[in-house]
Structure 1
């Protein structure tokens, strides 16, 4: 196929263009079939007596046209659909800054809200929100309420949050609060605002943040910090601070996703001392503080923050099928101003009606009645799941009952759980490597996120997988 290629060196047309034309012609007439591997550069150099750079330029042209695919180490192949005049969208996606998420995440998106770790539809949220929604609708008809809205959010809601935050020991002024959509949604603009490609990002070794592709798209240096039964290791944290320049710490201190660990008050004091010593910026995300069923509520890092080192993100609990999609950032005034500007440019803002409804829930006290019901719901699901774990997993698994709340972090020593999920995904439980790329022994179950009749079924299925792999 190559022998018939002849170059006209006197035509004025560069040799690489002539070569590209010749190969293109042979693809079009079928001499080179779809998916067929093209001759190597070495072969072309030998048969055609031309240089390597000429061949590379010709092949780059054909790759750009979409007629040829280039694969590192494998060489060049005729594209399967070279004659269809559409962009190679997969190539654009592959080159883009944003990296696709795990296949598991896409699969779990149909799993009743599991991907955002909200409550299952068994929890009836409607008694707690109907009145708030009705009152919010009346307030929204009064167009004067728009005068209370700014880039920082709905003023009455921010005032309600000042009182709410004080209940957990956080003293904030109105200018310290920014209303946002769901907490996961705002993580990208927060870190986009503070970090850049190569910035050092410290986080608990097993953490939901590992699964969020938006964060990886920023190109940060993700640095896992070991944790023990009391939470993030203060010793390992200090080592990382000394080793890496200008780091930021991401921490999930209450019923941490996925381990369920609640950082002890003593450990928080140790970590806070390190934070102040090194002026370490911290982003504290509280998914479940208000849902913590054991009293007293553990103090947040923000409640211990006297110098403004902590950016605090709180949120309304998620529930399927309702997702109130509401969170709030509490931080230094300059950070709030900066983040509000970034979110305006990114088109990220909380729904105005939902802000009015949330304010109604706080002012009426209905939010606190709802969270009491949520705590009872989670506690009951916990007790149910613990009983089934004892029944079906006792001889094959390990779990720390103290850390079993919303999250059940189940360990199966000697079993490669990563291999179990290689070609199969399950809607009611998650592989450990979803949260820690190196993890091969854990499975996460969230009893409060799935229907009650699925709890034992899921645990039996886990037991079957583990025993089958033995």
Structure 2
């Protein structure tokens, strides 16, 4: 046998052997009438341990490709081709080999747990049902006009909505943008995907905050990017760190969340915003500014965004209605140079032929109505009450077990456990008690942290959620001390 497994490959040797045999069966290299080599013989021919061949044969057996009988050896399954010579695809291998990576198993598990009714959800980054403008949207949908056009809309999104967003960002964020420089996306996350797929290539180095929501997204790894980390302190990232990384790695793009950053809740200082823009201009590094939370500022003061300070067109600005109106609308947008927006729009059209006209129409009606401003004032007040409740609950139930920064906006609070415990065990113990949170490792390199979302649950259950978490933490600390 001339073929040999590649020991330098990332794929396990037993999987390489299983795939080789499966391909050999398909091509006729291994005859359906013959017995496959014995475990000992094949191991000797390939120069591997017998246990490796056993694992390969077990893999093929689990897929129904071979049959194994003690004393008779390993044979190709008698019904592998079926009556009409058809085979079932090895879907497991297809899923494993796909280039688009799945979410972390831990994140998948938490999302599954959150579907259970008894779980107090302190992990999902969205607004509570009571904070959604349901009555306003009932009124809007009851007055939906007869639509003359139900076909595909403009590749960049509905023209009326883009005009309204241009007015919205000028009024609320001092960003001056023409409708032609705006692309409507399915939330901010699609905007990130489009930017990564259209403007970067495998091997490019990009920099993100540490910790950061971006750290949790497999899309960077799927695209083959070299992801570099910029530590966050109480004033945001240090501009000097950007220079140091760029000199070493030639940063192609910088991803930032300057206002009520996810997960820390911190705001980047005005001085650092100014310096970051100077560095961007000096080295020609594009900045992707993700701004889902700035309008939630509890005191009503909205800081200057990087985009509003950008005089050279270096910033691509992403925002959405997900964190301030309703995540289910799936209305987000990107603002940038017109030629870049056209490139992103072309890619989006290839994926979905543009956004549905119905949520665009509803979002446009709500954004241009007086109800929007009333809604923003309401969620600022309600989110502050929830923030205060979770801080009070920390003081009541966790006492000296956590240290935390109290955010002045957003929906998240970032906590350091003063006595670190096993992260996986803490999550399991919390889920047993019916409360979910996100471990800090999901967001970056720092250990011993957790993120709670105070925007997802109603105020009266937040305290109970923290009490359950405190019970779980106590069990984990006791186990660590035994």
TM category, shorter:
0.7 to 0.9
Pairwise mapping of residues 447-466 of structure 1 onto structure 2 (< 5 A)? Answer: 447-466=454-473
Any conservation in 1 of the 2:150–2:357 contact (CA below 8 Å)? no
- Structure 1 residues 4-55: Cα deviation after superposition (integer angstroms, max 9, x where no partner): xxxxxxxxxx9xx99945996269xxxx7xxxxx32755x34xxxxx869x9
Pairwise mapping of residues 54-73 of structure 1 onto structure 2 (< 5 A)? Answer: none
CA distance in 1, matches of 2:456, 2:34: 55
CA distance in 2, matches of 1:81, 1:274: 63
User: 2:290 matched to which residue of 1?
Assistant: 285
Shift, 1:432, TM fit: 0.6
Closer, same or farther: CA 193–218 of 1 in aligned 2, 3 Å: same
Return the match for 2:203 from 198, 203, 212.
Answer: 198
User: 1:226 matched to which residue of 2?
Assistant: 231
1:170 equivalent to 2:170? Answer no
Return the match for 2:35 from 25, 34, 50.
Answer: 25
Return the match for 1:122 from 103, 115, 130.
Answer: 130
User: 1:159 matched to which residue of 2?
Assistant: 163
Shift, 1:109, TM fit: 3.0
CA distance in 2, matches of 1:458, 1:79: 55
Closer, same or farther: CA 240–25 of 1 in aligned 2, 3 Å: same
1:180 equivalent to 2:185? Answer yes
- Structure 1 residues 244-284: Cα deviation after superposition (integer angstroms, max 9, x where no partner): 12420111111111111111212211211111111111111
User: 1:98 matched to which residue of 2?
Assistant: 100
Shift, 1:320, TM fit: 9.8
Return the match for 2:266 from 261, 266, 285.
Answer: 261
User: 2:4 matched to which residue of 1?
Assistant: none
CA distance in 1, matches of 2:291, 2:461: 27
Which is further off, 176-185 or 109-118?
109-118
Closer, same or farther: CA 114–458 of 1 in aligned 2, 3 Å: closer
Which is further off, 310-319 or 327-336?
310-319
Return the match for 2:451 from 444, 447, 450.
Answer: 444
Pairwise mapping of residues 203-214 of structure 1 onto structure 2 (< 5 A)? Answer: 203-214=208-219
Shift, 1:422, TM fit: 6.9
Instruction: Give unmatched runs, 5+ long, in structure 2.
Output: 1-23, 67-72, 81-86, 116-120, 478-482
CA distance in 1, matches of 2:183, 2:148: 22
1:132 equivalent to 2:140? Answer yes
- Structure 1 residues 380-432: Cα deviation after superposition (integer angstroms, max 9, x where no partner): 10111111111111211100124675111011133135243575674531111
Shift, 1:464, TM fit: 2.1
Shift, 1:327, TM fit: 0.6
Any conservation in 2 of the 1:379–1:405 contact (CA below 8 Å)? no
Any conservation in 2 of the 1:180–1:348 contact (CA below 8 Å)? no
CA distance in 1, matches of 2:430, 2:216: 15
Closer, same or farther: CA 109–189 of 1 in aligned 2, 3 Å: same
Closer, same or farther: CA 115–156 of 1 in aligned 2, 3 Å: farther
Shift, 1:322, TM fit: 6.3
Shift, 1:321, TM fit: 8.1
CA-atom RMSD, angstroms?
Answer: 3.6
1:308 equivalent to 2:316? Answer no
Shift, 1:343, TM fit: 0.6
Any conservation in 2 of the 1:67–1:82 contact (CA below 8 Å)? no
Shift, 1:172, TM fit: 0.6
1:383 equivalent to 2:388? Answer yes
Shift, 1:60, TM fit: 9.7
Q: Please give the secondary structure, in 1, of the residue aligned with 2:402.
A: coil
Shift, 1:292, TM fit: 2.1
Which is further off, 332-341 or 460-469?
460-469
Instruction: Give unmatched runs, 5+ long, in structure 1.
Output: 1-13, 33-37, 46-50, 70-76
User: 1:353 matched to which residue of 2?
Assistant: 358
TM-score, with length taken from structure 2: 0.79
Any conservation in 2 of the 1:260–1:405 contact (CA below 8 Å)? yes
Return the match for 1:242 from 224, 233, 247.
Answer: 247
CA distance in 1, matches of 2:375, 2:463: 26
Any conservation in 2 of the 1:318–1:324 contact (CA below 8 Å)? no
Pairwise mapping of residues 333-372 of structure 1 onto structure 2 (< 5 A)? Answer: 333-347=338-352, 349-372=354-377
Which is further off, 218-227 or 418-427?
418-427
Q: Please give the secondary structure, in 1, of the residue aligned with 2:368.
A: helix
- Structure 1 residues 97-135: Cα deviation after superposition (integer angstroms, max 9, x where no partner): 011212232233353797761101232421232222233
Shift, 1:465, TM fit: 2.6
Closer, same or farther: CA 301–63 of 1 in aligned 2, 3 Å: same
CA distance in 2, matches of 1:461, 1:79: 54
User: 1:409 matched to which residue of 2?
Assistant: 414
Q: Please give the secondary structure, in 2, of the residue aligned with 1:449.
A: coil
Shift, 1:192, TM fit: 0.4
User: 2:401 matched to which residue of 1?
Assistant: 396
Any conservation in 1 of the 2:256–2:288 contact (CA below 8 Å)? yes
User: 2:21 matched to which residue of 1?
Assistant: none
User: 1:73 matched to which residue of 2?
Assistant: none
Any conservation in 2 of the 1:120–1:450 contact (CA below 8 Å)? yes
